[in-house]
Every structure is written in C-alpha cells, then in structure tokens.
C-alpha cells in the first residue's frame, strides 16, 4: 500500500537520524519515537486487512500514535537533539503521510456512515 510505503520511507529517514543522536537522547526520546513509528506501521498494516467497519478502530489508533510521533519529534527538535535541517526534511515526509492517513480515515468513515 502506498500509505504504508510512505511511512516506511519516513521511518528509514528517522532511523538514520536516530543513530546520530547523542547517547542520552537516543536511548530515551529517540527509542520512544522509534517505537511509536513501529506502532503506527503495525496499526496501518492491520487496518489494511480488516473489514471496512473494523478499519476505523485501527486507523484511529494509527492516527493517535502518529500524532505522538509528531509531538515527540517536535520535542526532540526543541531540545536541540535534532537539527533544523533534519527536522524539516522528516516533517515534509510526515506531512504527506498525514494527508494520506487523513484521506483514508475520511474515506473509510464516509463508507461506514453510508451503510447506517
């Protein structure tokens, strides 16, 4: 699925950044962000195999966890563990992904409402 591939691209970029964080940041907030990325990928993968009604649960989980990814990345940038250039580059990919996720959620919600 293109949306999962977009997130995997973002994760690969993050993974390259993670290994260059200072030791304290890498093993605290860095690993937390890494875990949140993986959780988002997991929820999207599960959603891709569920019925339309069940997709909503996993898409909402993916969206919630993705919001945490963005928030934690912002904190990482604010504490200067991630420089401006890297933060901007990753943010651009995540903005595209966020639009795709929002579209999938909206499409799934409208399909689900039509059945009621």
**pLDDT exceeds 70 at position 3:** yes
* Mean pLDDT (whole number) for 99-114: 83
Q: Is 41 helix (H, G, I), strand (E, B) or coil?
A: helix
Chain segment 56-90, per-residue pLDDT in tens = 999 999 999 999 999 999 999 999 999 999 999 99
The conformational region for residue 81 under phi > 0 = left, psi -120 to 50 = alpha, else beta, is: alpha
Share of the chain above pLDDT 90, in %: 90
Give me the number of domains the chain comprises: 1
Q: What's residue 109's pLDDT?
A: 85
- Residue 111 — very low, low, confident or very high, per pLDDT cuts 50/70/90? low
Chain segment 86-100, per-residue pLDDT in tens = 999 999 999 999 999
Q: What's residue 110's pLDDT?
A: 78
Query: What is the distance between the alpha carbons of residues 80 and 13, in angstroms, rounded to a whole number?
Result: 18
* Mean pLDDT (whole number) for 5-34: 97
**Count of CB atoms within 10 A of residue 21's CB?**
19
What is the CATH classification number for the domain harbouring 8? 1.20.1440.60
Domain that holds residue 33: 2-115
Tokens matching residue 15: 């993974």
């Amino acid at each position: 699925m293109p949306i999962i591939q977009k997130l995997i691209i973002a994760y690969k970029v993050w993974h390259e950044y993670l290994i260059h964080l200072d030791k304290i940041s890498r093993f605290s907030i860095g690993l937390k962000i890494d875990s949140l990325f993986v959780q988002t990928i997991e929820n999207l993968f599960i959603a891709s195999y569920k019925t339309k009604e069940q997709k909503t649960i996993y898409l909402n989980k993916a969206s919630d966890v993705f919001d945490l990814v963005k928030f934690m990345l912002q904190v990482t940038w604010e504490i200067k563990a991630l420089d401006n250039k890297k933060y901007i580059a990753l943010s651009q990919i995540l903005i595209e992904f966020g639009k795709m996720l929002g579209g999938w959620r909206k499409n799934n919600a409208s399909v689900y409402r039509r059945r009621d």
